Amino acid sequence: MARAFVFPGQGSQAVGMGQELAEAFPVAREVFEEVDEALKQNLSKLMAEGPEGDLTLTENAQPALMAVSLAAMRVLESESGKSLSDMASLVAGHSLGEYSALAAAKALSICDAARLLKLRGRSMQKAVPVGEGAMAAVLGLSLEDAEAVAEEAAQGEVCAAANDNADGQVVLSGAKAAIERAVEIAKGKGAKRAVLLPVSAPFHCALMQPAAEAMEEALANATINAPSVPLVANVVAEKVVDPTRIRELLVEQVCGRVRWRESVLYMKSQDVDTLVEVGSGKVLTGLVRRISRDMTGVAVNTPADVEAFLSSL
């Protein structure tokens, strides 16, 4: 059996993330310095000290989460003396985490990943005026039932299943009024919970088209190499290695669904039994057992986590 390294998405950010790694390992500090230099911004200070409201801003949260993931990745490689390809057979990331996965697999440089994510965050925020879009988590309904809820709630507005995270955990995204209708419809159809999420924009739906166009232009000029380990891409839930295809999928990903449940099941079909979540938080680790009881999730984001993981190699 094999391991896959997976990288978290927005929502996993927290003030202080990555600080223990930076204090314990010079290579982690170097990643934060690289990102600060690439962005001409003291992002590492914001990550360390907050304020939380500024860190949560999409244009800061996205490169910051990538920085923590890559700091942890560099620590794993330097402390083990092994490369990513020695430790994992596949990589994947949840939404922005796909950029972290590509940087970990040397398909993107850390500096380019930081700049692209800064632009991605800013473009997603600008795509829809604040207050006009929304997202909601629907728990306890299948993807098919959640899609039916979205269709009924749309009434001519955008309303779509944006994240298929696990069995019975789907996130809807779209116009605010449509999402509010969807929450009530979902409750009427037997959802255990249907709640609006505290997000600043309706990600992964057709309303993000202006952001997709901005990313298409930026990615056209970005250097993308073949990854050292195949990427399981969000929008197709299968592995890709061709740089041209990766470029296309990163553009599609802005408006497209994050097919996380299917991606994890695909990795299982490729003999992966352990997902190692590299970076801030434990969101993806928590989803693993909900998707497949045969798989294990391990989170690596502190020096103690690093030590525990290295002892398992």
Instruction: Characterize the bridge pairing of strands 133-139 and 193-196.
Output: antiparallel
Residue among 204, 263, 280, 292 flagged as catalytic: 204
pLDDT over 70 for what percent of the chain?
Answer: 100
DSSP label of 289: H
pLDDT given for residue 121 in this prediction: 95
For the record, the structure tokens of 37 come out as 């230099």
Q: pLDDT tens, 237-280?
A: 999 999 999 999 999 999 999 999 999 999 999 999 999 999 99
- Could you give all domains of the chain from N- to C-terminal order, each with its CATH number? 2-127+207-312 (3.40.366.10), 133-199 (3.30.70.250)
Give the mean pLDDT of 148-177.
Answer: 98
pLDDT given for residue 130 in this prediction: 86
Instruction: State the Cα–Cα distance between residues 18 and 265, nearest whole angstrom.
Output: 29
Give the mean pLDDT of 296-309.
Answer: 97
Residue among 44, 69, 95, 263 flagged as catalytic: 95
Asked whether the predicted pLDDT for residue 198 surpasses 90, the reply is: no
Give the mean pLDDT of 49-60.
Answer: 94
Q: pLDDT tens, 265-274?
A: 999 999 999 9
pLDDT given for residue 200 in this prediction: 83
pLDDT over 90 for what percent of the chain?
Answer: 97
Q: Say if pTM beats, i.e. exceeds, 0.85.
A: yes
Evaluate the CA torsion angle 288, 293, 298, 299 in order and state its sign. positive
pLDDT given for residue 199 in this prediction: 86
Q: pLDDT tens, 213-228?
A: 999 999 999 999 999 9
Question: Of 286, 281, 312, which Cα lies nearest the Cα of 72?
Answer: 281
pLDDT given for residue 1 in this prediction: 79
Binned at pLDDT 50, 70 and 90, residue 292 comes out as very high
Q: Count of CB atoms within 10 A of residue 21's CB?
A: 24
Residue 94 known to be catalytic: no
Residue 269 known to be catalytic: no
